[in-house]
Structure 1
Amino acid sequence: MIPPEENLTDRIFNISAQERNNMLYSLDTRAAHVVMWTYAKTFTETLKNRYAKPPFYIMEEALVPGVDAYFFQRHSPYLEKINECLLRQKQYALSEIRIHSGSSLRGNITRNEGSQTVLGMKHLHHVFHLLVMGLFLSVVVFVCEIILKNGRKFIIWYKNK
């Protein structure tokens, strides 16, 4: 995802959950952290209770599938480059994104935006027609199979009667 010309290849790495917790709770601001949104929300709420200006903030956008949100240190040197990479990702549609195309990268987009339609029975009209048609067709095929399998016996029984 991150192009080699950004010179971040040796600076981005995975760490274990224990190492991440140690770095975060020691308020190590030498690195930016990418974590799940629920964990980031809990962590930043904890920091808001302890500090007037917490050293981390949450980016609300979900630009990469599989990761809900990102949080970075304030004034991080990585932030501008990561934003540029994510913007490229968004512009060239290299991944599935769940935000509107007219939004800003540091926007104020919530996950519940957009028009939501309540689905009623009219929306399922065609589905029910297909279901009924399929059931009718399966009954016809079943009767035809019974007639073909037992038809010869029926004809012999009818002639002997």
Structure 2
Amino acid sequence: MMSNAKIIQCYALYCIYDATNQVPNVITSAEGIVNVPRWIVAVGWEFNNIDQCSGKWFGVSCVKDQVTDIDQFSSFTGASPPEGSLLAADGPRSTGAGPLGRFPSNIQGFDSSFSFISGGLTNANFQGLKMLRFVSWDGNPYNSSVPTALSGLQNLAF
């Protein structure tokens, strides 16, 4: 049986999948993309009987049963849902902010390069991410400058 914490993580991951898999947004509309692409690889994300920290969910990494990395290169469309903040160790007390939402404080890496995520990046998206080592949003047309909060993340290498 799954713990409540694991169920909440699973729910948050499914919300991310549902909000970003083959979902039109302002970018796909502006580009005239009628058939919005699906995730390139969705292994594990489409089933509800696989532990998200078992190594069987493509792009998901965990440390001590806590999701720490989501790597879905060239897969996202739509927008990141606020439920993604439930992946934080402090669970439902986390709050979302901005079009991307605030990332969980324990996240170590995030790669959504060459996806169709829209919106701006704000300092609120990156506050308290002391563990973040890697982030890549190459190829996404954000309508903002790089948040200054990134300069304060001492573990960020790329």
Return the TM-score normalized by structure 1. 0.26
Greater percentage in strand = 2
Greater percentage in helix = 1
Larger Cα Rg: Structure 1 or Structure 2?
A: 1
